Structure 1
Amino acid sequence: MANITLGGTPVKTSGELPKIGSELQDFELVAIDLSTKTLKDFEGGKLLLNIFPSVNTGVCSASVRQFNTEASELENTKVLCISRDLPFAQDQFCAAEGLDNVIMLSDFKTGDFGKNNGLIFETGGFSGLLSRSVIVVDAQGKVIYTEQVPETGEEPNYKAALEALYNA
C-alpha cells in the first residue's frame, strides 16, 4: 500500500505501482468512442500514463492540459489519460478544452487496471477512484518511471516524467 494523503489525511491504496524494469500488464480500457483498448493497441511506442481520480477536478484537468501541451513535441509517444470517469465525461472535457494530443481511457467497467497496478483508493473520500500517478513505459513495454503523487491535491512531477521519455 502506498503512503499518500488526500487533503492531508492519510489514505490507503490497493497496492504498489509497477516496479521499474517490469513489463506493464495488459489492460482493457474504454475509449471515448466506447471501443476497448488494450496495451497491444499502443505496441512499439513509448507511453506516458497520466492516471488521476476524475477529470472534473482542477488538478486532474491541469495534468491533462499540461501533458497535452508536452505530448505534441514528443516523437513515437502516446499520452494515455486514465480515470474511472465515464467516456462521455472524458470526451466532453477534451472537446471543451480543445485537447487532441492525449488519449482518454476509462477504467469504469471493471476497475481491473486500477487493481492490477495498485492504484485504487481503498479509504477516504475518493474510495474506488484511481490515485494520481504517472507511469512511463518505453517502446519495448518496460516500465521506466513511476510516480504516485504523495498528496492527491498536488500535480505530478511533469519534468521527471518527460525526462524519462526523452531518455528512453
Structure 2
Amino acid sequence: MERKNAITFEGNPLTLIGNEVNIGDIAPNFTVTKMDLTPLSLTDLKGKNIVISAVPSVDTPVCELQTIKFNHQISAFSDVVLLTISMDLPFALSRFCGAKGIDNAVTVSDYKDREFAKN
C-alpha cells in the first residue's frame, strides 16, 4: 500500500520499506530474538492482547524513558503482553533490563533477521 505521508528526519526525506500497517489490519508475522537467544514469533502470542513498543535502541534517552514507562504502566493490565522490540543485541537488552528493573515487558531484538522492521 502506498504511504500517505512523506517521512522526513530533520527535514531530509526518508525511504521506508515494507507495507504500511493501518488500523484494523492484521499484523504481519515476524520473528525476533529473545534475551536468551531463542526465537519468538508474533504467532507465538496468538490469542493474547499485545502492545508492541518499537524503539531503535534502549541506550538512547527517549527510548530508555519509553521502555521504563511502558514497563511500569503495563503492570496494571494482567491480560496484556508488552512486546518491546529494539535493534539492540540480546546481551545489551539483558543488561539494560536488569539494571532498570524491566520485568513486565517481553524485551526482544530484531538485530538478526530484521523481520519486524521489514514486515
TM-score by length of 2: 0.87
Offset at residue 113 of structure 1 (A): 1.3
Question: Could you tell me which amino acid in structure 2 is paired with residue 106 of structure 1?
Answer: S
1:77 aligns with 2:77: no
* Residue identity (%): 35
Within 5 A, what are the aligned runs for 1:1-168? 3-6=6-9, 8-12=10-14, 13-15=16-18, 17-116=20-119
How much has 1:5 moved relative to structure 2? 4.1
Amino acid in structure 2 at the alignment position of 1:31:
K
Shift of residue 19, structure 1, vs aligned partner: 1.4
What is the root-mean-square deviation of aligned Cα atoms in Å? 1.6
Alpha-carbon distance between aligned partners in 2 of 1:64 and 1:17, rounded to the nearest angstrom:
24
Amino acid at match of 1:52: V
Please state how far the C-alpha of 1:9 moved relative to its aligned partner: 3.3
Q: Deviation of residue 85 (structure 1)?
A: 0.8
Matching residue's letter, 1:10: N
Question: Conserved in 2, the CA contact under 8 Å of 1:71 and 1:77?
Answer: yes
Unaligned runs of at least 5 residues, structure 1? 117-168
Query: Could you tell me how far apart the structure 2 residues matched to 1:3 and 1:51 are?
Result: 20
Q: What is the TM-score normalised by the length of structure 1?
A: 0.63
SS at match of 1:62: helix
- Aligned partners of 2:88, 2:115: CA distance in 1, in Å? 14
Unmatched runs of 5 consecutive residues or more in structure 2: none
Secondary structure of the structure 2 residue equivalent to 1:49: strand
Q: How many aligned positions are there?
A: 115
Secondary structure of 1:103's partner?
A: strand
